[in-house]
Structure 1
Amino acid sequence: MRIKLVSWNVNGLRAVSAKEEWRWFAENDAQLIALQETKALPEQLAPEVASPQGWQSHWASSMVKKGYSGVAVFSRLSPLAVHCELPEAQWQGEGRLLHLEFEQFHFFNGYFPNGGEEERDENGKPTGRFKRVPYKMGFFDAFVRYAEACRKQKPIVVCGDFNIAHRPIDLARPRQNERNTGFLPEERAFLDSFAALGYVDTFRHVHGDEAGRYSWWSYKTRAREKNIGWRIDYFFVSEELKPAIADAWIEDTVYGSDHCPVGLALELP
């Protein structure tokens, strides 16, 4: 059985769904579509967007701030169970994680925290510290604990916006960004440790060290036109599913957001 999964940080579903580019959804033949940064409650969306015909829709929305964060999963497969957010209270409320359990794997859709703004000292000078990096790293640690507990039962598929470029090949200007959140040593070290636990970056597994492949471009300075981007959107699978990886890709010709979709195909028995 071949299963196609796609993931897209839409940076505001109300805005994207009003654009011509949203035909991407109607034309999609995936069994699972995961969205991040929806920035909306389902009741704020047109019915055909919130509950499209032929799909089951699942939502985790921010409860701490309107128009912020949020994830959704649209599925043509019926999950055995659906869980919103991490089980520990300190990581709840921002609508950052959906967990769907299927017969053969646990599926996670995450909009993982970014590092926030850089702190400044009393003279207004940058300190090299970022306000939300401690929260970000704590969230990742909590997620790994949860995923590893679930992995004892069945394999893991996790997708979404990780807000981290793992290696220099994963962003256009690595040297200029070594002190910027998203490419800090401690952030990259997390993905090192995640890989060491046996989580496979499916795009790199399929495409190796192919350069110039990114999933996010700043709206500033026409970065997408120049392909000055970052690869921060991923599909990882636990190594038990490595033999099932049939394909992985980046849909960098799809517009409508500052991110583009990424995809994975699994060949399951």
Structure 2
Amino acid sequence: MTSKDGRAANMKISSWNVDGLRAWVKKSGLDEAPDVLCLQETKCADKSLPADITAMPEYPHKYWAASGEKEGYSGTAMLCKTEPLAVTYGIGKEEHDKEGRVITAEFPTFYLVTAYVPNSGRGLVRLDYRKTWDADFRAYLSELDMQKSVVLCGDLNVAHREIDLKNPKGNKKSAGFTPEEREGLDRLLEAGFTDSFRELYPEQANAYTFWTYMMNSRSKNVGWRLDYFILSASLLPGLCDHKIRNKALGSDHCPITLHLAV
């Protein structure tokens, strides 16, 4: 597996919204061991981490961010084979950093950010907050990008284009496909970042990462692409592949895997 400039992939990162870490561990888990495994919606405080996760010897360096406000809500994790140079939590703004949504790890040639972006909610009750989040998160990523290349992965809670969900016409006012949320991702990409899946597969339809548990949506592939690897422009020459692992079960999302030459 090689990049556009002919280099072999030497970094594999997987990202998965597990919809509850404890239930996910019981169901399955991942059938591979990437260099870094990023998890979202862990819904699990440090004291409640399942032993199967804390014991994983292939990942000696594990980092957890739990919601400080609500037990069993939000939360992210990053499991690393090699120790990052530094790890930070949140984006430096108190109003956003109470829910355990962001972990940033610095590696020698790039920052890896995993995020569980706030959902605008039923009835779009958090849409105004989401717009503020999008602007502040974009500023955070742009600041990192000035120092070192950035890989952002996670559940961004938006289907960017009509091709990214099964029923675009019926979801124009649904959380995850409002004009405001889509514009938030537009502006991030305009700031110098790239959706790696669409860079490689610009016309691929029916490529989803989330299916509601209702109405046999997964077996019918009535889904949404909500999970992304977003890259700094400087990393694009080393982009080798982006896989959607839609056969992997254990959550209402499936994992995605990035292959990169760094």
TM-score normalised by L of structure 2: 0.94
Question: Equivalences for 1:29-40 in 2 at 5 Å?
Answer: 29-40=33-44
1:13 is aligned to 21
The answer as to 2:173 corresponding to 1:179 is yes
Q: Residue 137 of structure 1: SS of its match in structure 2?
A: helix
Q: Residue 216 of structure 1: SS of its match in structure 2?
A: coil
**Aligned residue among 159, 170, 181 for 1:165:** 159
**Aligned residue among 230, 251, 267 for 2:261:** 267
Displacement of 1:48: 3.0
1:127 is aligned to none
Q: Residue 249 of structure 2: SS of its match in structure 1?
A: coil
Q: 1:142 to 1:152 in 2, by over 3 A?
A: same
Unaligned runs of 5+ in 1: 119-129
Q: Residue 26 of structure 2: SS of its match in structure 1?
A: coil
> Does the Cα contact within 8 Å between 2:245 and 2:255 map onto a contact in 1?
yes
> Does the Cα contact within 8 Å between 2:157 and 2:226 map onto a contact in 1?
yes
2:78 is aligned to 73
1:240 is aligned to 234
> Does the Cα contact within 8 Å between 2:25 and 2:52 map onto a contact in 1?
no
Aligned length: 253
1:82 is aligned to 87
The answer as to 2:64 corresponding to 1:52 is no
Displacement of 1:149: 1.0
Question: Equivalences for 1:213-224 in 2 at 5 Å?
Answer: 213-224=207-218
1:2 is aligned to 10
The answer as to 2:123 corresponding to 1:115 is no
Distance 1:66 1:221 in 2: 29
Distance 1:214 1:4 in 2: 20
The answer as to 2:102 corresponding to 1:97 is yes
2:4 is aligned to none
2:224 is aligned to 230
Question: Equivalences for 1:121-132 in 2 at 5 Å?
Answer: 130-132=124-126
> Does the Cα contact within 8 Å between 2:117 and 2:157 map onto a contact in 1?
yes
Displacement of 1:47: 2.6
> Does the Cα contact within 8 Å between 2:13 and 2:34 map onto a contact in 1?
yes
Distance 2:25 2:261 in 1: 31
Displacement of 1:193: 1.1
> Does the Cα contact within 8 Å between 1:51 and 1:57 map onto a contact in 2?
no
Displacement of 1:139: 1.2
Q: Residue 250 of structure 2: SS of its match in structure 1?
A: coil
Question: Equivalences for 1:147-166 in 2 at 5 Å?
Answer: 147-166=141-160
Unaligned runs of 5+ in 2: 1-8
**Aligned residue among 243, 249, 259 for 1:255:** 249
Displacement of 1:43: 2.4
Distance 2:180 2:196 in 1: 22
Displacement of 1:194: 1.2
Displacement of 1:74: 0.3
Off by >6 Å, runs of 4+ in structure 1: none
TM-score normalised by L of structure 1: 0.92
> Does the Cα contact within 8 Å between 1:40 and 1:61 map onto a contact in 2?
yes
2:204 is aligned to 210
> Does the Cα contact within 8 Å between 2:121 and 2:127 map onto a contact in 1?
yes
> Does the Cα contact within 8 Å between 2:142 and 2:191 map onto a contact in 1?
no
Distance 1:51 1:85 in 2: 25
Displacement of 1:184: 0.4
Q: Which letter does structure 2 place at the counterpart of 1:93? A: K
Distance 1:46 1:67 in 2: 13
Distance 1:144 1:51 in 2: 35
> Does the Cα contact within 8 Å between 1:43 and 1:50 map onto a contact in 2?
no
Displacement of 1:51: 4.1
